[in-house]
Amino acid sequence: MQAARQSWRATPSLSYPFRDAPALGATKQVAAGVFWVRMPLPFALEHVNLWLLGDGDGWTIVDCGLGTATTRELWEQVLAGCLDRRPVQRLIVTHCHPDHIGLAAWLCEKFGLSPWMTYSEYAHAHAVYHRVAGANHAALHTLHQRHGLDPARLGALNSHEGHYRRGVPSLPEAYRRIRHGERLIAGQNTWRVIVGHGHSPEHAALYCDKLGVLISGDMLLPRISTNVSVWPMEPDGDPVGEFLDSLEQFKELPPDTLVLPSHGLPFQGMRARIAELDCHHRSRLERLTAVCGRPQTAAEVLPELFDRKLDDYHVVFAMGEAIAHLNHLMRCGTLDRVDDANGVYRFVRRAAP
């Protein structure tokens, strides 16, 4: 996941049982048989949280960090000093983004494993890695050109070419599929797979009723909003609608559930956080509805969604989010989409009947 640099400040609606993250190369216990590992990221988020689950005579790893030499060295420290000489028996990957799947091939080769993940995440990882049609740099350029990004910014998209492989140097050639609702046993604990959409194709969160713990991946973060973007493979998709619908299922969990996010600190107050995220997206939708009284491109509405100057790297994610919100309003019948004389999409508020 990508986002602008943020400070991880507590919000009044949430409580944080663990104020200090584990040192790099170390672990911290957060529940019975559940240990927190943190790995660095060389971009704005600065870190990703990974999890170790006690699994009988061994361990299950949940997510693995970027595929870099630094991450490998830190994992070697964890494996040598924190696992009580018990082997890694399973790797679960929540989704296909580089900070979660990047080191999967190395860990799987080291321990003779195949990653456990959903079909769509595994397939999407390979599509992006192998640069298939609809998942490559040319497709991204075409999408953003169609949505009005100016030529100078389009040229700057070259900085993204090869971005995925820089964080994912290789991928496992086989996997073990997990599905929504499946129950995975790790030691004395059973974890239920909760699939969510919008941030990635088929994101897998894990919930343990016995412990009252949710490994939320990127679906629920305490401080920043998860990136929800349209990508070239599904240009007319509605990830905002999918994301908001996916959040509803987490409301069914107990309100005091301990949430273990991929970025930020473990927290409680999940329902309040869901309400904040819902409000965040609906506020964006209201602003876009107002500004689209006259035809607007996705590029033109960026200032309505982002009050900071966007560098060439982050404009890709900003454009994806703008298109996602405009697509949702089109799907809901609030906006119409028209082609202008240059073949660029413009969105305009639908006239009242």
For the segment 320-340, what is each residue's pLDDT rounded down to a tens digit? 999 999 999 999 999 999 999
Q: Tell me whether residue 307 is in a domain.
A: no
CA 132 to chain centre: 21
Q: In angstroms, rounded to a whole number, what is the distance separating the alpha carbons of residues 72 and 80? A: 12
Q: Tell me whether residue 302 is in a domain.
A: no
Q: Tell me whether residue 158 is in a domain.
A: yes
User: Mean of the pLDDT values across residues 246-257?
Assistant: 97
How many structural domains comprise the chain?
Answer: 1
Which of 54-58, 131-135, 301-305 is predicted with the least confidence, judged by mean pLDDT?
A: 131-135
Buried b (16+ CB within 10 A) or exposed e, 81-94: ebbeeeebbbbbbb
Which has more pLDDT, 85 or 297?
A: 297
Q: Tell me whether residue 8 is in a domain.
A: no
The two three-digit tokens of residue 289, written as one number: 């509805």
Using DSSP's 3-state secondary structure scheme, residue 186 falls into: strand
For the segment 153-195, what is each residue's pLDDT rounded down to a tens digit? 888 787 778 889 999 999 999 999 999 999 999 999 999 999 9
CATH of the domain at 146: 3.60.15.10
Q: Tell me whether residue 343 is in a domain.
A: no
Q: Tell me whether residue 349 is in a domain.
A: no
Q: Tell me whether residue 346 is in a domain.
A: no
User: Mean of the pLDDT values across residues 121-138?
Assistant: 94
Determine the structural domain holding residue 53 and report its residue range.
28-291
Q: In angstroms, rounded to a whole number, what is the distance separating the alpha carbons of residues 118 and 100? A: 13
Cβ proximity of 36 and 19 under 8 Å: no
Q: 323 to each of 39, 329, 333, 345, how far by Cα in Å?
A: 31, 10, 15, 10
270-291 and 314-331 helices cross at what angle (nearest 10)?
Answer: 80
For the segment 200-230, what is each residue's pLDDT rounded down to a tens digit? 999 999 999 999 999 999 999 999 999 999 9
Q: In angstroms, rounded to a whole number, what is the distance separating the alpha carbons of residues 299 and 296? A: 8
How sure is the predictor about 13, in pLDDT bands with cuts at 50, 70 and 90?
A: confident
Show the DSSP H helices in 130-250 as ranges: 137-146, 151-156, 163-167, 239-250
User: Mean of the pLDDT values across residues 336-350?
Assistant: 95
What local confidence, expressed as pLDDT, does residue 12 receive? 67
Q: Tell me whether residue 20 is in a domain.
A: no
For the segment 33-42, what is each residue's pLDDT rounded down to a tens digit? 999 999 999 9
The two three-digit tokens of residue 201, written as one number: 């194709």
What local confidence, expressed as pLDDT, does residue 4 receive? 33
The number of helices, as runs of H, and strands, as runs of E, in the chain is 11, 14
> Listing from the earlier edge strand, what are the strands of the sheet with 28-31?
28-31, 34-40, 47-55, 58-62, 88-92, 116-117, 176-177
